[in-house]
């Protein structure tokens, strides 16, 4: 993971509305409407943030009929954190517990 990818990951996390979204659909698929309501933003704003999160690979999109559901890609989050830790906290033993090898 290079500097640019890491910055994309950070940017995706670096907004309160997106944090709210990530926590809301971390364990269950949620529709855009539900997400907008929970995050207290309009539906287009929710779509905007979801596009950013999907671009960063942090959520998966699934369409069923006219409904679109999003859910956090938990393993991607773990991988991003792991790579980040190896780059900027390499001396911490715990950092390496997220590697693929262990």
59: partner contacted, choices DNA, its own copies, none (Cβ within 5-8 A by kind): none
31 or 71, CB closer to DNA? 31
How many beta carbons lie within 10 A of that of residue 42, not counting itself? 10
Taking the C-alpha atoms of residue 9 and residue 92, their distance in angstroms, rounded to an integer, is: 21
Shortest Cβ distance from residue 51 to its own copies (Å)? 16
13 or 76, CB closer to DNA? 13
Shortest Cβ distance from residue 62 to its own copies (Å)? 17
Which residues, numbered 61-90, are part of the site for DNA (CB under 7 A)?
A: 61, 65-69
Contact code string over 31-50 relative to DNA, x by CB under 7 A: xxx-------xxxxxxxxxx
For residues 47-68, one letter each, b for 16 or more C-beta atoms within 10 angstroms of the residue's C-beta and e for the rest, the string is: bebbebbeebbbbbeeeeeeeb
Taking the C-alpha atoms of residue 56 and residue 38, their distance in angstroms, rounded to an integer, is: 21
**CA-CA-CA-CA torsion for 24, 28, 34, 40, nearest 10 degrees?**
0
Which positions lie near DNA, rule CB under 7 A?
Answer: 11, 14-17, 31-33, 41-52, 61, 65-69
């Amino acid at each position: 993971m290079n500097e640019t990818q890491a910055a994309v990951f950070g940017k995706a996390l670096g907004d309160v509305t997106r944090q709210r979204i990530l926590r809301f659909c971390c364990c269950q698929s949620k529709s855009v409407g539900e997400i907008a309501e929970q995050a207290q933003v309009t539906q287009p704003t929710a779509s905007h943030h979801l596009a950013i999160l999907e671009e960063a690979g942090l959520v998966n999109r699934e369409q069923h009929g006219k409904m679109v559901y999003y859910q956090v890609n938990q393993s991607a989050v773990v991988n991003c954190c792991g790579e980040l830790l190896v780059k900027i906290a390499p001396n911490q033993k715990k950092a390496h517990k997220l590697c693929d090898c262990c």
